[in-house]
Chain A
Amino acid sequence: MGVINFIIENILTQASITIALIAMLGLILQKKSTGQIISGTLKTLLGFQVLSAGSSIIVGSLTYFGQIFTEGFQMEGIIPSIEAINGQAMNELGLGRDIALTFLAIFIFNILLARFTKWKYIFLTGQAILWMATMTTVFGYFAGLRGFVLILVGGFIGAVFAIAMPAMAQPIIRKVTGSNDIALGHFCTIGYLFEAGVAKIFGERGENKKSIEDIKLPAHFEFLQDTYLSVMVVMVPLYIVTVLFAGETFAAELSGGQNYIMFGLLLGEIVPAFRGIAMKLVPDAIPALDCPVFFPYSPNAVILGFITTTIGTVIAMFTLPMFGLAMILPGMLTNFFAGGTAGIFGNAVGGRRGAIIGGIAHGFFITLLPALLVTIFNSMGFVSATATDVDTVVVALLYAWILSPILKAF
């Protein structure tokens, strides 16, 4: 017994060890060779330590930005970053191990739900699951949950979202791809459905519905690049103003792309290990894949979605502070990936007009929800923090507004 306690208290409390062991388990279950198991496990271990170090740098610069911004403009200004929340949760609250185990629990519950219910979705975007695990762990912790219960509740709620989000998006995805083979696995889905809803109300209908894809753009690809250029022209001055106040943050925002590579290293070992098992246990699974997979089916809508969402986020950035909420600075990566995918939804449901009005509304929506979360984060001691993936924000709000009051009542 003493040995087991020693292992739990001294070795398993190291988040990097836990997550490396999870990866090792996956590799063993896949019957990889000893060499592959050793190298895969070590790579995960190192990857996770790089992740911790990297996110503490981001946390530092984002917190600094928040302070400067507050002093300069007399209001709270925030660049949403789930990486920063993850970093703070791991480094300051010591929740790294719980996040890692919740990550694993979400995977397991997802497989079980897909195996035994009629919803056959297997959520394969590892990064999104990691962020979901981060949110459920942080908010579960503040609701008073600890240890095993914290992980089980987070794993179950995360898995319900991992099944429900692809399932809810599927009618539109089926329309766009023309098949039921693949599903969308991205935790921004509530935003996409919001855009689809707005597009349904305000968009074109019946015979008047014109898809943006029907427009043959002259010199299509040059136009495309010009668009990014023109959006940059709007965004860059916006950032320059803030950069004047906090130089490091700009670098943090730009390095967003690199973070993805870094996380890729970490998830690269775990996700393949488990998806093999998932596919075998649920042979008729519908894999839920990351959003870029759907870009080829509606490329013009992606561009339109990016532009309109960006407009919406800029409007929200200036409007929300008037209502006493924090100023949320638009993130280009979110606007591109979530905005682009939302554009596909808006166009599919409400044609061009639906995509334009829906896109702007989507931009506003994905800024409003993180702004609502800021106050809660502040009360928990996370300074200048919020996240953009709206499904994870909704989960956080569920914990904060429903689960937490219930638990505290007893």
Chain B
Amino acid sequence: MFGFLKKKKEQHEVIQTLSSEEKEELQTTIERLKKDIDQTEETDQRAVLFEQVGLKLAELGDNDQAIEQLEKSLSLKKSINDGYKKLMSLYNAKRAEAARAGDDQGIDHYMGKMDEMRQIAKQLTITGNK
């Protein structure tokens, strides 16, 4: 119970530290990146753009959207860059959230996702990130 309150407070603080200008700026960047995605056909480049959108969304505190975009990026091209690390930590946060809510399926789902992430790291380190 105590942990639950603590975590909530931390998240709240993160969101509060962004001023409305900063938020606006992030949103503008996201919109611009999304347009870039629409105009880009090259898969690797699209993966990079999706990764950037995901990272910006995470900065905004929109974790669900961020996960969606980062997953899209990895499905286009596997990588172990910043997007990967952010996604791993978002999954883990979701896992903790599900655990606190006593949601078995949620725990299972996100632990499974974290397993997949481990496989990607293993695979890319062995084959040389190709």
- A276 and B125 in contact, given A283-B4, A287-B114, A293-B88 (Cβ under 8 angstroms): no
| B107-A224 in contact (CB<8A) | no
B-side contacts of A272, CB under 8 Å = 108, 111-112
Which residues of chain A from 233 to 289 have a CB within 8 Å of any chain B CB?
A: 272, 275-276, 279-280, 282-285, 287, 289
B-side contacts of A293, CB under 8 Å = 88, 114, 117-118, 121
Instruction: Looking at the assembled complex, report how far the CB atom of A93 sits from the nearest CB atom of chain B, in whole angstroms.
Output: 33
| B121-A280 in contact (CB<8A) | no
| B104-A289 in contact (CB<8A) | no
B-side contacts of A290, CB under 8 Å = 118
A-side contacts of B119, CB under 8 Å = 292
B-side contacts of A158, CB under 8 Å = none
Which residues of chain A from 152 to 173 have a CB within 8 Å of any chain B CB?
A: none
Across the interface, name the chain A residue whose C-beta is closest to B101: A283
Bound form: Cα–Cα A279–B122 in Å: 24
Which residues of chain A from 178 to 223 have a CB within 8 Å of any chain B CB?
A: 179, 181-182, 220-222
Interface window among A82-90, A103-111, A294-302, A372-380? A294-302
| B128-A283 in contact (CB<8A) | no
A-side contacts of B127, CB under 8 Å = 225
A146 at the interface (CB under 8 A from B): no
A312 at the interface (CB under 8 A from B): no
Instruction: Looking at the assembled complex, report how far the CB atom of A322 sits from the nearest CB atom of chain B, in whole angstroms.
Output: 34
- A292 and B125 in contact, given A181-B92, A276-B111, A297-B85 (Cβ under 8 angstroms): yes
Instruction: Looking at the assembled complex, report how far the CB atom of B6 sits from the nearest CB atom of chain A, in whole angstroms.
Output: 9
| A299-B3 in contact (CB<8A) | no
Bound form: Cα–Cα A280–B101 in Å: 9
* Interface residue count on the A side (C-beta < 8 Å): 35
* Interface residue count on the B side (C-beta < 8 Å): 34
A39 at the interface (CB under 8 A from B): no
| A284-B96 in contact (CB<8A) | yes
Contact of A179 among B89, B99, B104, B117 (CB under 8 A): B89
A340 at the interface (CB under 8 A from B): yes
Instruction: Looking at the assembled complex, report how far the CB atom of B107 sits from the nearest CB atom of chain A, in whole angstroms.
Output: 5
| 7 cross-chain pairs, A with B, having the tightest CB-CB distances, nearest first | A296-B80, A292-B122, A284-B3, A224-B128, A279-B99, A295-B125, A292-B121
A91 at the interface (CB under 8 A from B): no
How many residue pairs link A and B with beta carbons under 8 A? The number is: 87
Instruction: Looking at the assembled complex, report how far the CB atom of B22 sits from the nearest CB atom of chain A, in whole angstroms.
Output: 21
A-B contact pairs, 11 of them (CB 8 A): A182-B89, A228-B128, A272-B111, A279-B107, A285-B96, A287-B111, A292-B122, A293-B117, A293-B118, A296-B81, A296-B84
A30 at the interface (CB under 8 A from B): yes
| A276-B121 in contact (CB<8A) | no
| B125-A340 in contact (CB<8A) | yes
Interface string of B91-104 (1 = CB under 8 A from A): 01101101110101
Instruction: Looking at the assembled complex, report how far the CB atom of B78 sits from the nearest CB atom of chain A, in whole angstroms.
Output: 11
Bound form: Cα–Cα A22–B99 in Å: 23
Bound form: Cα–Cα A293–B85 in Å: 9
| B128-A280 in contact (CB<8A) | no
A-side contacts of B99, CB under 8 Å = 279-280, 282-283, 285
B-side contacts of A30, CB under 8 Å = 104, 108
| B92-A287 in contact (CB<8A) | yes
| A275-B85 in contact (CB<8A) | no
A-side contacts of B108, CB under 8 Å = 30, 272, 276
Bound form: Cα–Cα A124–B108 in Å: 13
Across the interface, name the chain B residue whose C-beta is closest to A178: B85
B-side contacts of A284, CB under 8 Å = 3, 96
Bound form: Cα–Cα A96–B104 in Å: 31
Contact of B80 among A124, A289, A295 (CB under 8 A): A295
A-side contacts of B93, CB under 8 Å = 181
B-side contacts of A220, CB under 8 Å = 129
B-side contacts of A279, CB under 8 Å = 95, 98-99, 107, 111
Bound form: Cα–Cα A294–B102 in Å: 28
- A289 and B114 in contact, given A181-B93, A182-B88, A297-B85 (Cβ under 8 angstroms): yes
A31 at the interface (CB under 8 A from B): yes
Contact of A276 among B3, B92, B104, B114 (CB under 8 A): B104
Bound form: Cα–Cα A292–B123 in Å: 9
| B111-A280 in contact (CB<8A) | no
Across the interface, name the chain B residue whose C-beta is closest to A275: B111
B130 at the interface (CB under 8 A from A): yes
A-side contacts of B125, CB under 8 Å = 292, 295-296, 299, 302, 340
Contact of B107 among A177, A276, A336, A340 (CB under 8 A): A276
| A296-B4 in contact (CB<8A) | no
Across the interface, name the chain A residue whose C-beta is closest to B97: A283
Bound form: Cα–Cα A336–B92 in Å: 26
Q: Which of A275, A292, A340 counts the most B-chain CB atoms under 10 A from its CB?
A: A292
Instruction: Looking at the assembled complex, report how far the CB atom of A28 sits from the nearest CB atom of chain B, in whole angstroms.
Output: 13
Instruction: Looking at the assembled complex, report how far the CB atom of A38 sits from the nearest CB atom of chain B, in whole angstroms.
Output: 19
Known contacts A272-B111, A293-B121, A299-B80; 11 additional CB pairs below 8 A are A182-B88, A182-B92, A225-B127, A276-B111, A280-B102, A280-B107, A282-B99, A283-B3, A287-B92, A293-B114, A295-B122
